[in-house]
Each structure stands twice: as structure tokens, then as C-alpha cells.
Amino acid sequence: MAGIVTAGHQGPGTSVRGARPDERSFRRAIGRFGTGVAVVTTAGPGGPSATTVNSLTSVSLEPPLLLICLKEGSRTAAAISAAGAFTVNVLSGGQAATAAGCAAAGRPSGERALEGVPHRPGWRGIPVLSGSLSYFGCLVERELPGGDHTIFLGRVCELGTGPEDEPLLFYRGQFARLG
């Protein structure tokens, strides 16, 4: 079986049972659920927006639905609400710098949001990142409150796949790759 080889994650940590969840313990426990990594893009009058997510879930096959969760105050969430559409770009193992860049606080917005990140205009003019494993162009079907996040349920209207490559993973707060 393939192993996680490049994540310099912390040691084994302490075992916990029956703890009341606070933000830190919840993050640590849910961080043991390894995920892929995606960059969600959208486009509006102010230019493109992009943010890194691992809250991506496939919801339904017929109709094809997926969801992402974006935290309160997310610039990209506001842009998606305004545009009514977004594209999910599933990242490959070589795109950790892109993932980190699109998660960085204080990064440029508007026309410079994707500066240095190779991309092309795709479905509805929304950026598709070059080298992504796959992408999904979605119309916002529903926007639901989810605590301090907003859940965007997207109907997949267009999709594409790139070359076969290994995925970028996120595990215990670190990027990881398959061995």
C-alpha cells in the first residue's frame, strides 16, 4: 500500500477520549481525516477570486452535485455568491505552492489574485488552473448556513480531467503526497 512520505507532520500526539470539542481539539481530531486539496475559483466584475479548500465533497451523481464550505468573511465566498457560479480545481502533487499561495492571508485580490499561477479562462470565464487533475464548473444550487461557514451546493455543469498524476493531499495540517 502507498504510504504518506513527504508530510513532516507532528509526532503521534496524545490519545484523547470523551473530550468536549473546542476549536483546537476539533481541528486536531478532524485533521486525521486525510483529504485531497482543491482551489476554488470564480470570476466577477472585480476580476478573479481563488481560495484553497479541502471541504470538497461529492454529494449526488444524478443530478451531479458537490459541495464546498467557506468560512465567514471569505472574499471568495462573497464573489461566488455574487457570480452564482464557481469552478473547483483538484490539485496535483506538484501544486503545493499554488495551494499555499491561494490560502495566504493578505494576498492580492482582483486582477492580481492569480498572479504567477498558470491558468486559462474556462466555463463562464472562470479560471481553470493549468496542471489540475480535474475541474468542475458549478452553478450555485443552494447556499446554506453551516455554523461559521457557508455551504455552497454546486450543480456540476462542465467538467474536465488533466493528465493522470498523483494528487496533493492534506493530513494533520500538512501537505502530503502519495509514496
Ligand X SMILES: Cc1cc2nc3c(=O)[nH]c(=O)nc-3n(C[C@H](O)[C@H](O)[C@H](O)COP(=O)(O)O)c2cc1C
Beta carbons of 154 and 126 less than 8 angstroms apart? no
Smallest separation, CB 115 to ligand X (Å)? 14
Q: Collapsing DSSP states into helix, strand and coil, what is residue 112?
A: helix
Count of residues near ligand X by CB under 6 A: 18
What's the 3-state SS for 148-174? CEEEEEEEEEEEEECCCCCEEEEECCE
Q: Does 105 bind ligand X (CB under 6 A)?
A: yes
Q: Rule CB under 6 A: choose which of 70, 85, 91, 176 binds ligand X.
A: 70
Identity of the residue, 19 or 82, whose beta carbon is nearer to ligand X in the bound complex: 82
Smallest separation, CB 76 to ligand X (Å)? 4
In angstroms, the Cα distances linking 130 to 31, 71, 103, 144 are: 28, 26, 18, 30
Identity of the residue, 108 or 179, whose beta carbon is nearer to ligand X in the bound complex: 108
Q: Does 28 bind ligand X (CB under 6 A)?
A: no
CA dihedral 131, 7, 15, 27 (to 10 degrees): -40
Q: Rule CB under 6 A: choose which of 41, 42, 52, 92 binds ligand X.
A: 52
Instruction: State the residues that interact with ligand X by CB under 6 A.
Output: 37, 49, 51-55, 69-71, 74-77, 99, 103, 105, 170
